[in-house]
Amino acid sequence: MSKKVKIGIIICDRYKNCAGGKCFRSLWNREGAFDIYKNMDVEVVGYTSCGGCPGGNIEYAPEEMVKNGAEVIHLATGFVVGYPPCPYIGYFKNYIEKKFGLKVVVGTHPIPQKYYDTHKKLGTWETTEWKEFIKPTLCDEDIRKAYN
């Protein structure tokens, strides 16, 4: 491994009791949105929820993560797979990038197949914006099934 990247992870408050199992497994395996770190060491310097709709913790959590050296913030996959998906995700991404100058990646672990199937039937991710949001976590079907 060459470069070390420090990241923060923000999860949807609906999943505030999540222990991060899928996120950390995908980080170790460099799957989903974490495949961008294939040849890098990664240190997680913060993990918290958005604070609940409409995301009050988004104003404060990135600043704390920056104090710990965060260079990238990941908005967890739960923001896109929950129903309904987070209506604020675009605002969160834009706000964090502009206010804190950080790169923001939408997603952490691969989208589980069961969520992919549901949202496909519902047509949830058919807009150009949502296609971009899910791209880092889409993966192939075998990997999606492994995250069910």
DSSP structure class, residue 112: P
Structure confidence at residue 2 (pLDDT) = 66
* 43 three-class SS: strand
Give start and end residues of each alpha helix (H) in the chain: 21-29, 61-67, 78-81, 89-100, 113-122, 128-134, 141-146
- Number of domains the chain contains: 1
pTM summary value: 0.95
Give the range of the structural domain holding residue 71, as residue numbers without chain letter: 4-146
DSSP structure class, residue 71: -
DSSP structure class, residue 103: E
Comparing C-alpha atoms, which of 4, 12, 13 is closest to residue 106?
Answer: 12
Q: What is the pLDDT along the chain (148 residues), one digit of tens a residue?
A: 467 999 999 999 999 999 999 999 999 999 999 999 999 999 999 999 999 999 999 999 999 999 999 999 999 999 999 999 999 999 999 999 999 999 999 999 999 999 999 999 999 999 999 999 999 999 999 999 999 9
Structure confidence at residue 90 (pLDDT) = 97
Domain containing residue 33: CATH number: 3.40.50
